[in-house]
Amino acid sequence: MPLVTPFETSFGRVANRRMLLVETDIDGISGWGECVAGEGPFYAPETVETAWHILRDFIWPILKGREISAASEVWEMLALVRGHHMAKGAIEAAVWDAEAKRMGIPLWKLLGGVRDEISCGVSIGIKETIEDLIATVERELAAGYQRIKIKIKPGHDIEPVERLRQRFPRMRLMVDANSAYRLEDWPHLKRLEAYYLMMIEQPLGWDDLYSHAELQRKLDTPICLDECIHTLEHTRAAIELGACRIVNIKLGRVGGYTPARQIHELCRSKQIPVWCGGMLESGIGRAHNIALSTLDNFSLPGDVTASRRYWVEDVIEPEVEVTPQGTIRVPEGPGIGYLPRLNRIEQLSARIEILT
Ligand code: OSB
Ligand code: MG
């Protein structure tokens, strides 16, 4: 799926997304999930190809023909496979969708969600010029979005943040470095504190909790971890080490709803606010992010946005829309609450594999 505009982060630029969608058939009830792995192993180790391989050759043989009495059992069934959370998360989420559909209720209610409207922020990629960045922020604020996150990297950090602050003194602003800095850069990152950011997301190594703890001790601005949060155990270590004060939860990064809910609970018990990150998902993944965001400790605006910010035409009906207040009204229909546009999905498909 071609993006409306290419998206650039510190680890690269993407203009076209290769989506891996999973449809499960459980006693004739269909459930949908999306694998959020990237085209290359630059955000996380998995890719679309590794996820396809793991799903077909290892996850499917485990699940095939098994009695599943609740979607909450799937995560444990897959424990034999280490890592590969994006592959697991895709199918686990599809089983949750199917379970909610079988019960005839919205997935977010099955999950224990508490709100029928979620708060939305936007993630803005690195732009060629500051003028382009300012114009983009202006447009997103006018659309109602409640907070702005910009991607930064060395050489593209202080100046854009300073210029945005001058232009929009009161907006809720944060930055995401996607692991582009090293601990030695801390005096430079400290300069960002002049612009009262809500948080700095994942400044250091993708798996480096220790350095984040060192950095957090030097900064007043909260660090939010994204890439580092793979498991419940890593989250516990991050919190106990003081490596972050905020956690970004992504369904795919942690392996599905079961670990996502455990991490959400742990954070709640430690008074660490969480928010739902995005991975440039199609409507299927977007719908799951909306459901997840209804849990009570998702108390900060997430990177969950309208379909039209990324796609000319999404793969779900209706498309995800945002209110002028920068919220998404959570759908009331069964399961994820949006219908897959089967024609559009088929038309876009480069590969279809049916496992029986
Ligand atoms: O770090 O949150 C991230 C997109 C791809 C990979 C990593 C990230 C992102 C985003 C985009 O920030 C969030 C979105 O889907 O809008
Ligand atoms: Mg991030």
> pLDDT by residue (tens digit) across 193-242?
999 999 999 999 999 999 999 999 999 999 999 999 999 999 999 999 99
User: CA–CA distance from 343 to each of 35, 287, 349 (Å)?
Assistant: 20, 19, 10
Largest CA distance in the chain: 60
Asked if 250 is an active-site residue, the reply is yes
What does DSSP assign to residue 189?
A: H
Pocket test for ligand 1, best of 1, 3, 9 (most atoms within 8 A of CB): 9
What are the DSSP E strand ranges found in the chain?
Answer: 2-9, 12-16, 20-26, 29-35, 117-119, 121-124, 147-151, 173-176, 200-201, 223-225, 246-249, 274-276, 316-317, 327-329, 339-340
86 Cβ below 6 A of ligand 1: no
Q: What is the Cα–Cα distance from 326 to 277, expressed in whole angstroms?
A: 16
Atom of ligand 1 nearest to the CA of 305: 16
Cα(318) to centroid(ligand 2), Å? 27
Residue 139 contacts by C-beta under 8 Å, 6 or more apart in sequence? none
Cα(108) to centroid(ligand 1), Å? 22
Question: Could you read off the pLDDT of 196-205 as tens digits, one per residue?
Answer: 999 999 999 9
Distance, C-alpha 292 to centroid of its chain: 10
Residue that the structure tokens 């409306």 belong to: 4
- Map 252-281 to HEC letters: HHHCCHHHHHHHHHHHHHCCCCEEECCCCC
> What percent of the chain is predicted at pLDDT more than 70?
100
Tell me what pLDDT residue 304 has.
Answer: 98
282 Cβ below 6 A of ligand 1: no
Tell me what pLDDT residue 97 has.
Answer: 98
Centre a 10 Å sphere on the Cβ of residue 179 and count the other Cβ atoms it contains.
23
Catalytic residue of the set 88, 101, 151, 270: 151
Cα(123) to centroid(ligand 1), Å? 7
Which band of pLDDT confidence, cut at 50, 70 and 90, is reported for residue 340? very high
Ligand 2 ion: Cβ-proximal residues, 5 Å cutoff: 176, 201, 226
Retrieve residue 149's tokens: 């996150």
Tell me what pLDDT residue 152 has.
Answer: 98
Cα(225) to centroid(ligand 1), Å? 13
46 Cβ below 6 A of ligand 1: no
277 Cβ below 6 A of ligand 1: yes
Mutual angle of helices 257-269 and 85-103, in 10-degree steps: 100
Tell me what pLDDT residue 168 has.
Answer: 98
Torsion region of 163: left, alpha or beta (phi above 0 gives left; psi -120 to 50 gives alpha):
alpha
Tell me what pLDDT residue 105 has.
Answer: 98
Ligand of minimum distance to the alpha carbon of 280? 1
Tell me what pLDDT residue 186 has.
Answer: 98
Tell me what pLDDT residue 32 has.
Answer: 98
Counting Cα atoms < 13 Å in the Cβ hemisphere of 277 gives 22
Q: What are phi and psi of 119, to 5 degrees?
A: -90, 140
Question: Could you read off the pLDDT of 134-174 as tens digits, one per residue?
Answer: 999 999 999 999 999 999 999 999 999 999 999 999 999 99
What does DSSP assign to residue 158?
A: H
Q: Could you tell me the strand order of the sheet in which 274-276 lies?
A: 121-124, 147-151, 173-176, 200-201, 223-225, 246-249, 274-276
- Ligand 1, atom 13: closest residue by C-alpha: 278
Atom of ligand 1 nearest to the CA of 281: 15
Atom of ligand 1 nearest to the CA of 151: 12
Strand pairing report for 274-276 and 316-317: unpaired
Mutual angle of helices 232-241 and 209-218, in 10-degree steps: 30
Retrieve residue 22's tokens: 């999973």
